[in-house]
Structure 1
Amino acid sequence: MKADRTGLSIRAKSNLTGWSFILIAVVMIAAFYFYPMVQALILSFKTGTGSNLTYTGGSNYVRLLSDKTFLTSLSNTFIYLIIQVPVMILLALFISVLLNDSKLKFRGFFRTAIFLPCVTSLVAYSVVFKYLFAADGLVNSLLMKLSIIQEPIQWITDPFWAKITIIIAITWRWTGYNMIFYLSALQNIDSSIYEAARIDGASSFKQFTKITVPMLKPIILFTSITSTIGTLQLFDEVMNITKGGPGNATLSISQYIYNLSFKYTADFGYAATVSYSIVVIIVLLSILQFKVAGDKK
């Protein structure tokens, strides 16, 4: 192989040039992502208040199993996950199919309107939802005027309705985000496939279940995993709408980590342990989703 004046082969020089382009990014990712992750893992094996930490082995992980507050936050988060993620995925898929119809007027307007919640401030929209769903808020006023309810629903202060409020909030914000992925995928499906199905007498429902869903399978898997990760990291809505209340009825794992670090007496070691519990759960659920989807890759 030919070499230049520096004695490097053309291939080696090409590789060196390529690495020089990504070197800064690699260093930054290692410094701000991987190094903190390793340090957090080491921290999870320590206990103490503030910076006075001592190595205690796996005692923090044993503590997780008997920590009632953690188990409550875990239960709450899984309720959000089990209810909200399927609803949001199905809703985003349904809306994307409707908005992919070339005969629909003002498609651009509807697409923009549904996607806009994704670019709103998390804190701002959470505060708006808190006031909308207050006992004397707009939602209760409207429902009472329509004679759907006789007295105000305690959306924020009742344990059951507080969870419903959080689920409605995160569904409203993230449905449009998933819709964009489905729309992009739908536009890559050859229209001749649907035309052939219509000629064969396939109904719209058959076309949806036999053509649309199977061809969107990789995107459905992707959005399911990303939505699962996002829900397990839920913080802003719970923090700003209900503050984890009433009691700990809406407390999420991420808010519990915040409380352990900044609200209660600082216990950074145990907070890191709870953080890594989310990592483990995400990995297990991602593997499960891949298995259910039958994706061998």
Structure 2
Amino acid sequence: MHRPGMWFALPAAALLVIFFAYPLAVSLLQSFFKTSGGVSTFVGFEQYARMFRDPLVIKSLGNALLILVVQVPIMIALAVGLAYLLNQAWLRFRSGFRLITFLPAITTLVAYSVVFRVIMTTDGGMLNQFLALFGAGPIDWLNNEWWARVAVIASITWRWTGYNMVIILAGLQSIPAELYEAARIDGAGRWQTFWHVVVPQLRPVLIFTTVTSTIGALQLFDENFILTGGGPNNATLTPVLYLYKIGFQQFDFGYASALAWMLVILTGIIAVIQFRIMREKP
């Protein structure tokens, strides 16, 4: 045992215990207690059973599922298309285009959400002013259930497409040139080369970006909180946003902890699925 190494690792280990392990253990313990009038009472799994009777839990998970089913495929498709285009040797100013595409990913979540809220304001918003040029009436982007979902999905897509594009671009650049040459010799066209050479080679990268985007959909908070506050009529309420309201507006920390652990379990299930999909078959 190397004692000097232990001393060097001790500060990092202490920070890990204080700011990660301890809060994690306390939140798990707290999920089994219910506080009323300043008195905590052990209730076992009652908080977890309560989730199955809470319509807003189902609503928030449904909203996350909608974002997962609609937004994630659109974003991954755009990221693949942009990465494939920006990987072409004939494209001029590729570095500049890559930078422009990636810039939204380094924008802070709060800042870009506020900008989107200003752009999508019903009265005088930039987007409605643009639509007015074509004779279209103003759209109540943030106060209509359907359009509020569109606004959230559009903002998330703008923010994260460039991030996924960079990951996919790195995957594209790792594909051996010999595979493209072999496809060309066999008479494959651009689409055939893309579908039978590029996509199979990108499979691990696509799985990674899809799974991380899925986890992101479950953990969505900033955009919904700033753009719509979870409304209208809970149309954009997400599990983390509901957890926030339960914990920091209703001060029901026991139930909020149970909700947090429900998300941990869902995330763990997704991670297991990712591992099994990515595991090479014999």
Which bracket does the TM-score occupy, shorter chain normalised? over 0.9
Q: CA offsets per residue over residues 47-88 of structure 1, 9 Å max, x none?
A: 114853221100001100111122211111111122111211
SS of aligned partner of 1:216: helix
For 1:89 and 1:30, locate their aligned partners in 2 and report how far apart those are by CA, in whole Å: 36
Cα deviation, residue 281, structure 1: 1.4
For 2:10 and 2:79, locate their aligned partners in 1 and report how far apart those are by CA, in whole Å: 39
What is the aligned partner in structure 1 of residue 166 from structure 2?
A: 180
Q: CA offsets per residue over residues 214-244 of structure 1, 9 Å max, x none?
A: 1111111211221111111111100100011
Residue 22 and residue 128 in structure 1: after superposition, are their counterparts in 2 closer, same or farther (change >3 A)? same
Matched, 1:112 2:99: yes
Unaligned stretches of 5+ residues in structure 1: 1-11
For 2:157 and 2:197, locate their aligned partners in 1 and report how far apart those are by CA, in whole Å: 26
The match for 2:22 among 35, 49, 57 is 35
What is the aligned partner in structure 2 of residue 232 from structure 1?
A: 218
TM-score by length of 2: 0.93
Cα deviation, residue 293, structure 1: 5.1
What is the aligned partner in structure 1 of residue 65 from structure 2?
A: 78
The match for 1:279 among 239, 243, 264 is 264
Q: CA offsets per residue over residues 139-158 of structure 1, 9 Å max, x none?
A: 122223124x3x22211111
What is the aligned partner in structure 1 of residue 55 from structure 2?
A: 68
Instruction: Give the AA of the match of 1:283.
Output: G
Residue 32 and residue 276 in structure 1: after superposition, are their counterparts in 2 closer, same or farther (change >3 A)? same
TM-score by length of 1: 0.88
The match for 2:237 among 243, 246, 251 is 251
What is the aligned partner in structure 1 of residue 207 from structure 2?
A: 221
Instruction: Give the AA of the match of 1:224.
Output: T
For 2:133 and 2:31, locate their aligned partners in 1 and report how far apart those are by CA, in whole Å: 53
Residue 193 and residue 156 in structure 1: after superposition, are their counterparts in 2 closer, same or farther (change >3 A)? same
Matched, 1:267 2:248: no
User: Larger Rg: 1 or 2?
Assistant: 1
Which 10-residue stretch deviates more, 91-100 or 188-197? 188-197
Residue 244 and residue 50 in structure 1: after superposition, are their counterparts in 2 closer, same or farther (change >3 A)? farther
Aligned length: 281
Unaligned stretches of 5+ residues in structure 2: none
What is the aligned partner in structure 1 of residue 273 from structure 2?
A: 288
For 2:277 and 2:176, locate their aligned partners in 1 and report how far apart those are by CA, in whole Å: 27
Which 10-residue stretch deviates more, 184-193 or 22-31? 22-31
Identity %: 42
For 2:84 and 2:38, locate their aligned partners in 1 and report how far apart those are by CA, in whole Å: 54
Which 10-residue stretch deviates more, 201-210 or 170-179? 201-210
Matched, 1:45 2:25: no
Q: CA offsets per residue over residues 256-297 of structure 1, 9 Å max, x none?
A: 111111122x10000000111111111223333444556569
Instruction: Give the AA of the match of 1:152.
Output: P
